[in-house]
């Protein structure tokens, strides 16, 4: 009945892309709101920041905002077409957030010296927890994505 | 602190083009040919003109010369907020609907011309917008602006014009014969936001000539976070346009359970 009139690309891929985008956006949002604004652990600028660090940070924050909004609109579109695959989408969110956090915690904080997680504390503990959480997110996301590799939207399964 | 050219009262001349634009828009919106022009577009246009007008009038113009953070606020008003409001008010749609046949045809020919098409291509518009911003902070232009009111006015005009072009090329709904793809518009928007972020942080780290470090830091924060709010609005508007354009049509839509 409500089958779309025009063919659409794979719902599996669309759910994953939407989740990945929203996950990246969510991690960027948490980074800005929680660590920069609420806790004020992160610094806006740190004298040791390299110019590549500024470039990477500027790009990632710009893309992060876009990804959060675009991921949600894509998800609304999937719902509208009755194509949402909640588990697969969640897998994408965890994977996107984990990859962003891992990149932030290794390349941006350490390699490019953007800023540290917190100042005047034993950084090793913070870095370990930060990156361990990132790895757990990536693993959980990868597992969910793998598990749903053959998932089909409810409606099409019924038909 | 700085001597000002231009003399007192000259800036009140800016009321002339502002009032002329407002009267023209209001007349168009109220004319029967506009076809029930939505009232909120008239509000957008009026607010857009007001947002740029206040940046060239006192007290804001004088304050901006003394305080870099206030200068950043005026740039957000003239280069981002005003263009966004003006683009949302769809002035060209209104003009094409309400002008007489001959001027309307001339306007439509102008909008389709190769030159306007080139200027309103997202990449060109973004280069004009971002390039002007980099020149302003990284050359002697900033000092010149603070020493001479006419230079300040010219820069404000550039901010408004380039900001309008950029905003229209990304989220404009006025008639445009070759609107760029959503993908290109999204890429250009993200890169422009990134350039804005990076420039704000470099101003924080390395103040422009003649700007004290504390003032540069404040101005950079205004630029980063104030600009961020307006950039977020652009992102949402662009995605909403895509969402509306990708909606299910025809039979599928009419039996949609969510209706």
**Domain spans, chain A:** 26-149
Asked whether the beta carbons of residue A62 and residue B240 sit closer than 8 angstroms, the reply is no
Asked whether the beta carbons of residue B256 and residue A69 sit closer than 8 angstroms, the reply is no
Cβ contacts (< 8 Å) between A77 and chain B: which residues? 243, 246
Top mean pLDDT of A4-8, A126-130, B41-45 is at: B41-45
Q: Report the distance separating Cα A106 and Cα A85, nearest Å.
A: 32
Q: Report the distance separating Cα B207 and Cα B216, nearest Å.
A: 5
**First-to-final CA distance of chain A:** 9
Asked whether the beta carbons of residue B194 and residue A63 sit closer than 8 angstroms, the reply is yes
**pLDDT grade for B51, boundaries at 50, 70 and 90:** very high
CA distance B171 to chain A (A): 14
| Cβ contacts of B132 within 8 Å, gap of 6 or more | B158, B159, B162
Question: What is the structure's pLDDT at B136?
Answer: 84
| Helix (H), strand (E) at residue A32 | none
Q: Locate the chain B residue with the closest alpha carbon to A114.
A: B201
Asked whether the beta carbons of residue A69 and residue B186 sit closer than 8 angstroms, the reply is no
**pLDDT grade for B46, boundaries at 50, 70 and 90:** very high
Top mean pLDDT of A22-36, A127-141, B7-21, B95-109 is at: B95-109
Q: Report the distance separating Cα A44 and Cα B95, nearest Å.
A: 45
Q: Report the distance separating Cα A144 and Cα B116, nearest Å.
A: 49
Q: Would you call B187 an interface residue with chain A, using a CB distance cutoff of 8 Å?
A: no
Question: What is the structure's pLDDT at A136?
Answer: 92
**pLDDT grade for B207, boundaries at 50, 70 and 90:** confident
Q: Report the distance separating Cα A56 and Cα B203, nearest Å.
A: 17
CA distance B154 to chain A (A): 29
Cβ contacts (< 8 Å) between B186 and chain A: which residues? 66, 70
pLDDT at residue A10 greater than cutoff 70: yes
Q: Report the distance separating Cα A106 and Cα B56, nearest Å.
A: 46
How many CB atoms are located within 10 Å of the residue B19 CB?
12
Q: Report the distance separating Cα A130 and Cα A138, nearest Å.
A: 13
Give the global pTM.
Answer: 0.87
How many CB atoms are located within 10 Å of the residue B199 CB?
22
Tokens 């009945």 sit at which residue? A1
Asked whether the beta carbons of residue A70 and residue B255 sit closer than 8 angstroms, the reply is no
pLDDT at residue A1 greater than cutoff 60: no
Worst-scoring range by mean pLDDT, A51-65, A72-86, B17-31?
A: A51-65
Question: What is the structure's pLDDT at B89?
Answer: 96
**pLDDT grade for B257, boundaries at 50, 70 and 90:** very low
Q: Report the distance separating Cα B238 and Cα B172, nearest Å.
A: 9
Cβ contacts (< 8 Å) between B243 and chain A: which residues? 73, 76-77
Average pLDDT value for chain A? 82
A1 versus A82: the higher-pLDDT residue is A82
- In the structure encoding, which two tokens stand for residue B174, read together? 């006025």
**pLDDT grade for B258, boundaries at 50, 70 and 90:** very low
- Render pLDDT for A12-21 as a digit per residue (tens, 0 to 9): 899 999 999 9
Helices B101-112 and B91-98, packing angle to 10 deg? 140
Question: What is the structure's pLDDT at B251?
Answer: 46
Residues A50-58, mean pLDDT to the nearest whole number: 78
For residue A151, give the DSSP letter.
-
Cβ contacts (< 8 Å) between A3 and chain B: which residues? 252
Q: Report the distance separating Cα A130 and Cα B108, nearest Å.
A: 57
How many CB atoms are located within 10 Å of the residue B104 CB?
14
């Amino acid at each position: 009945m409500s089958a779309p009139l025009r063919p659409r690309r794979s719902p599996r891929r669309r759910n994953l892309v939407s989740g990945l985008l929203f996950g990246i956006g969510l991690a960027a949002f948490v980074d800005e709101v929680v660590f920069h604004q609420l806790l004020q652990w992160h610094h806006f600028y740190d004298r040791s920041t390299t110019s590549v660090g500024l470039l990477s940070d500027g790009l990632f924050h710009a893309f992060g905002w876009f990804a959060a909004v675009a991921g949600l609109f894509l998800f609304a579109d999937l719902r509208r077409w009755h194509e949402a695959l909640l588990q697969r989408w969640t897998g994408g969110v965890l994977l996107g957030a984990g990859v962003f956090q891992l990149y932030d915690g290794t390349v941006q904080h350490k390699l490019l010296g953007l800023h540290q997680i917190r100042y005047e504390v034993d950084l090793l503990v913070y870095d370990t927890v930060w990156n361990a959480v990132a790895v757990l997110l990536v693993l959980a996301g990868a597992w969910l994505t793998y598990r749903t590799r053959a998932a089909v939207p409810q409606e099409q399964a019924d038909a | 602190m700085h001597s000002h050219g231009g003399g007192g009262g000259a800036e009140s001349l800016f009321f002339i083009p502002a009032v002329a634009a407002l009267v023209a828009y209001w007349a168009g919106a109220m004319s029967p040919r506009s076809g029930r022009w939505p009232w909120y577009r008239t509000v957008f246009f009026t607010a857009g003109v007001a947002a740029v007008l206040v940046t060239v009038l006192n007290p804001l113009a004088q304050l901006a010369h003394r305080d870099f953070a206030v200068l950043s606020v005026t740039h957000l008003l003239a280069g981002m907020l005003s263009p966004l409001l003006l683009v949302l008010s769809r002035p060209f749609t209104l003009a094409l609907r309400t002008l007489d046949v001959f001027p309307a045809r001339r306007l439509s020919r102008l909008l389709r011309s190769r030159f306007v098409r080139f200027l309103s291509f997202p990449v060109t518009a973004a280069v004009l917008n971002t390039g002007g911003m980099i020149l302003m902070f990284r050359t002697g232009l900033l000092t010149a602006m603070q020493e001479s009111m006419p230079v300040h006015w010219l820069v404000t005009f550039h901010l408004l014009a380039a900001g309008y072009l950029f905003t229209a090329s990304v989220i404009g709904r006025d008639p445009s014969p070759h609107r760029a793809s959503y993908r290109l518009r999204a890429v250009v928007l993200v890169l422009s936001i990134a350039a804005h972020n990076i420039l704000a942080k470099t101003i924080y780290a390395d103040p422009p000539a003649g700007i004290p470090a504390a003032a540069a830091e404040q101005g950079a924060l205004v630029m980063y976070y104030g600009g961020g709010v307006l950039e977020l609005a652009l992102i949402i508007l662009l995605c909403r346009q895509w969402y509306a354009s990708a909606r299910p049509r025809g039979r599928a839509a009419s039996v949609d359970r969510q209706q």
